[in-house]
Amino acid sequence: MLFKNLLLQTSIVLSSLSEQGHAIPTLEKRATLDQFITSENTVALNGVLANIGPSGSKSQGAASGVVLASPSKSNPDYYYTWTRDAGLVIKALVEQFSVSKATNLQTVIQNYISANAKLQTISNPSGSLSNGAGLGEPKFNADFSAFTGAWGRPQRDGPALRATAMIAYGNWLLANGNTAAATSIVWPIVKNDLNYVAQYWNQTGFDLWEEVQGSSFFTIAASHRALVEGSAFAKKVGQSCSVCDAQASNVLCFLQKFWNGQYIDSNINVNEGRTGKDANSIISSIHVFDPAAGCDDATFQPCSPRMLANHKQVTDSFRSVYSVNSGIASSSGVAIGRYSEDVYYTGNPWYLTTLAAAEQLYDALYQFNKAGSITITDVSLAFWKAIYSSAATGTYASSSTTFKSLTSAVKTYADSYVAIVQKYTPSSGALAEQFEKSGGQPTSAADLTWSYAAFLTMTNARNNVVPPSWGAASANKVPSTCSSGGATGTYAAATNTNWASPSTPSTPTPCSAGSSIAVTFNVLAKTVYGENIYVSGSTSELGSWDPTKAVLLSASQYTNSKPLWSGSVKLSTGASVSYKYIRKSSSGAVTWESDPNRSLTVSSDCSASAPTVNDTWR
């Protein structure tokens, strides 16, 4: 019911917007869009989890760690796991987990990683692990057996995307003290995928829509990112990836060839008879978004002049092909499909591509704000003029009113794409693959996992919740001549998938900032009747070395054979504390322990059992 109300309100506001011909946000529209995003984000997270085996509510019977593309078993049958979709979905879940620390997400991520150690070894129509070729197989059955029907194979973006998803989690493990799991579980799987990318990037394959055999911008962009962050991850786990280092700049060099001076031609080395304007390129831009990078053309950052020009060219190509877009002003967002010539399911807009058009703009806003300026060039001018008619080439510092007008126009424009998704999302919040180009009804596969993941990443981008850098800013030097390439990869089955084994301690849960944890002080100290033992120390909880404020320990466990004094004191997590025990006689006389002072560091792992120190009186 909530959704229904929101939908009604929005369509009223949207029609008044298009009458004005200018997307000027009203408070009412902002409020309803925000409400929609908040409620839909919960639907989206649940929608993703429902489609992941073995315990997702719509994936029962699927193997542990299987990310189904959709629960739909007919018209179309998407009850399979695609390496690409799964990689993108898990990448989005790692982003969620890094913020929420929710253990159910962690379990899903770890199941996926364990499952893919096994999946890499399954021989399939693309080949096997021995020379890496089997890693390019696009999809598997829901029980992880090979799918042996005819299909567009190989699809070479899968290994790169899987590597990126796993590296994201591996980096989280490293940052949280679980080097063992990052090294012994994650790295061996990632290593195979990186070797695949380094070996096969310069061969053709099928694009992300599984239709065109050639060179796909998305595949090459994802390959470059994987090699760069893969090399850095290797070093962090005490390894190296020499094939990554050798090939990354060759891949970057090739990537430049998709730019035709006006937009990205998404499929090259093939004549597919299309313009090449394809949401492929917009999805690439959000995939290679690096919050630490500038508006860099070479790595096709979301705020780069090239990618803004491309955004306009690609999104404009959909304005006249769908009747749901008719009458929408050129300054406002529209429903976006895969490419305008699409005929799959008669060729409709998709939720995930419309959301990607918004997400690129939110990413760009983050980058403009971080850079503290916007530079409009001849390349990007047409993009800017469409949303801010007085835009002119130049550089505008964040203190200028022009900067404020430009960023506000981008925000409004980005929101207008999300408003399209809002308008065509049914009251349940369910996101199918597509919505019909004439009436907007959901169509094709129901509950598409990637649609939900796209909603999650759009929301984070809109909220300035950005993923860690992958190193784009130091990997953007394009060689003056491009070398063809392909290393010889080496492959080995990853065998450790036991997250609970002693060599891979369970993942620590960092304590929240400012929290405290009870530390138990045990000291063996023989005392005579009337004497008491206290602990005194450097923090206020221990009385700041003032013996009158020391903490009295309890003798309730004291025996002659084990003269134990014990007590718990709440101390700030992560704090370094020095302390000593003191003895007070019945007369009040204080005796300090002999030097040196004792010291301890309070754990900042809130999942570990409460820390205890065992001391003997000196």
Ligand X SMILES: *[C@@H]1O[C@H](CO)[C@@H](O)[C@H](O)[C@H]1NC(C)=O
For ligand X, which residue of 106, 116, 183, 202 counts as binding (CB under 6 A)?
202
- Interface with ligand X, residue 252, by CB under 6 A: no
Amino acid at 588: G
Segment interacting with ligand X (CB under 6 A) among 10-18, 117-125, 295-303, 591-599:
591-599
- Interface with ligand X, residue 568, by CB under 6 A: no
Structural tokens at position 247: 């090939």
Ligand-binding annotation for 617, yes or no, is no
Nearest distance in Å: CB 525, ligand X: 15
79 burial type by CB count under 10 A (0-12 exposed, 13-18 middle, 19+ buried): buried
Q: Contact, 168 vs 106, CB < 8 A?
A: no
Nearest distance in Å: CB 237, ligand X: 29
Find the angle CA(193)-CA(264)-CA(432) to the nearest 5 degrees: 70
What is the C-alpha separation between 426 and 421, in angstroms, rounded?
10
Q: State the DSSP string of 181-247.
A: HIIIIIHHHHHHHHHHHHHHTTS-EE-TTS--EEEEHHHHHHHHHHHHHHHHHHHHTT---HHHHHH
Interface characters, 370-409, with ligand X (x: CB under 6 A): ----------------------------------------
Segment interacting with ligand X (CB under 6 A) among 169-177, 402-410, 525-533, 595-603:
595-603
- Interface with ligand X, residue 614, by CB under 6 A: yes
Give, as one character, the DSSP assignment of residue 71.
S
Q: Contact, 551 vs 543, CB < 8 A?
A: yes
What is the C-alpha separation between 20 and 459, in angstroms, rounded?
27
For ligand X, which residue of 148, 343, 560, 595 counts as binding (CB under 6 A)?
595
For ligand X, which residue of 3, 36, 218, 254 counts as binding (CB under 6 A)?
254
Segment interacting with ligand X (CB under 6 A) among 94-102, 191-199, 498-506, 589-597:
589-597
Phi, psi for 70 (deg, rounded to 5): -170, 150
Q: Kindly tell me which of 6 and 523 has the beta carbon lying closer to ligand X.
A: 523
- Interface with ligand X, residue 597, by CB under 6 A: yes
For ligand X, which residue of 42, 612, 616, 618 counts as binding (CB under 6 A)?
612
Torsion of CA 494, 496, 498, 502, to 10 degrees: -160
Residues 262-291 that bind ligand X (CB under 6 A): 269
Interface characters, 148-177, with ligand X (x: CB under 6 A): ------------------------------
Residues 469-508 that bind ligand X (CB under 6 A): 482, 484
Residues 511-530 that bind ligand X (CB under 6 A): 522
Q: Contact, 365 vs 407, CB < 8 A?
A: yes
- Interface with ligand X, residue 203, by CB under 6 A: yes
| Alpha helices (runs of H) in 326-482, residue ranges in sequence order | 351-371, 381-387, 401-423, 449-462
Q: Is 40 a catalytic residue?
A: no
436: Cβ contacts below 8 Å, ≥ 6 apart: 324, 348, 442, 443
- Interface with ligand X, residue 596, by CB under 6 A: yes
Task: Give me the half-sphere count of Cα atoms (radius 13 Å) on the Cβ side of residue 201.
Answer: 35
For ligand X, which residue of 10, 83, 120, 204 counts as binding (CB under 6 A)?
204
Segment interacting with ligand X (CB under 6 A) among 50-58, 230-238, 454-462, 594-602:
594-602
Segment interacting with ligand X (CB under 6 A) among 65-73, 113-121, 197-205, 297-305:
197-205
Q: Is 157 a catalytic residue?
A: no
For ligand X, which residue of 253, 334, 336, 376 counts as binding (CB under 6 A)?
253
Nearest distance in Å: CB 256, ligand X: 9
Of the residues 157, 207, 415, 605, only one is catalytic, namely 207
What is the C-alpha separation between 289 and 348, in angstroms, rounded?
27
> Which three-class secondary structure state does DSSP give residue 164?
helix
- Interface with ligand X, residue 345, by CB under 6 A: no
Q: Kindly tell me which of 318 and 579 has the beta carbon lying closer to ligand X.
A: 579
Nearest distance in Å: CB 59, ligand X: 36
Residue 41: left if φ>0, alpha if ψ -120 to 50, beta else—which one? Answer: alpha
Helix axes 27-50, 2-20, angle to 10 degrees: 130
Segment interacting with ligand X (CB under 6 A) among 58-66, 191-199, 463-471, 592-600:
592-600
- Interface with ligand X, residue 557, by CB under 6 A: no
Structural tokens at position 139: 């999809």
Q: Kindly tell me which of 329 and 482 has the beta carbon lying closer to ligand X.
A: 482
Looking up tokens 């987990």, which residue turns up?
A: 97
- Interface with ligand X, residue 114, by CB under 6 A: no
Count of Cβ atoms closer than 10 Å to residue 589 Cβ: 9
Annotated binding site for substrate: 151
Q: Which residues are annotated as a binding site?
A: 151
Question: What residues line the site for ligand X (CB under 6 A)?
Answer: 202-204, 215, 253-254, 269, 482, 484, 522, 545, 578, 595-597, 612, 614
Residues annotated catalytic, as ranges: 207, 210
